Amino acid sequence: MKPPEVLQQADYNRQRTDPRPGDLFYLALADLRLAVELMRNVPATKVLDYGCGGSPYRSLFQVETYHRADLPGDPTLDFEYGMDSILPVADEAYDLVLSTQVLEHVKDVAGYLREARRVRKPGGRLFITTHGTYPDHACPHDFQRWTHDGLREQVAAAGFQVNQVYKLSTGARALMFLMSQHHYELLARGWSGGAIMLRIMRAPFRWFRAGFERFLDRVFAHSRLVEANASTSPLYIGLVVDATKPD
């Protein structure tokens, strides 16, 4: 029998590589998986998963070298680093640096981005996903959120050429994701008309989550991954940056 922590890690990775309607974070994770798939066919032989966690997207990259780096605590890591994000890695070692849902936990973002630039080969790619609007979730810390313009500017300031910025889970999908996470906030005591209406509003998220999320997939498929400059929606759960280190 596998120990509980192994089973927990397996489910954590499964929800990211194979998100299913009814999973707690399905809407955001399904759209995030769609975004990461943009990078799977990028020509690369050496990939660094920088702030890897459980490396849930490792299976998407069929490459010669896939190194995992994170804060100390996981004996399976290839590299450990501290709060300064400095890597024990040679300059220009990787074709692709992958950073999925890490940047919000980094105290010195500029230092992290400089280090990502240092270890990338000229012409190599940087692929970052992080949060726009999202609840606090310390791991072990949670420091910031971004707008698409702010994130673009910060990545460019670190010396990258920004190829594209995308918004993830926009508009109605963003609103429904937040409602699904915090529907309990709608609870009101009593049997007034307003209290009853709030209970009705909670129903899809409490009892019909999977079916409601399938409906959102059909009706709001266009809101999953949207070019930031083309989007009219001011509400989005995640952001994606695809950038290149100039030759």
CATH class of 4-244: alpha beta
The C-alpha atoms of residue 191 and residue 197 are separated, in whole angstroms, by 10
Q: For 201-243, how does the pLDDT look when each residue is reduced to its tens digit (9 = 90+)?
A: 878 877 888 999 999 999 999 999 999 987 778 999 999 999 9
Could you read off the pLDDT of 155-213 as tens digits, one per residue?
999 999 999 999 999 999 999 999 888 777 777 788 888 877 878 887 887 788 899 99
Nearest CA to 124 out of 97, 98, 99, 95 is that of 95
Domains of the chain, by residue range, sit at 4-244
What sections of the chain are H helices per DSSP? Answer: 4-17, 26-36, 109-118, 148-157, 171-182, 193-207, 209-219
Nearest to 224, CA basis, from 18, 37, 31, 33: 31
Q: Is the pTM of this model over 0.75?
A: yes
Q: With contact defined as beta carbons under 8 Å apart, do 125 and 210 qualify?
A: no
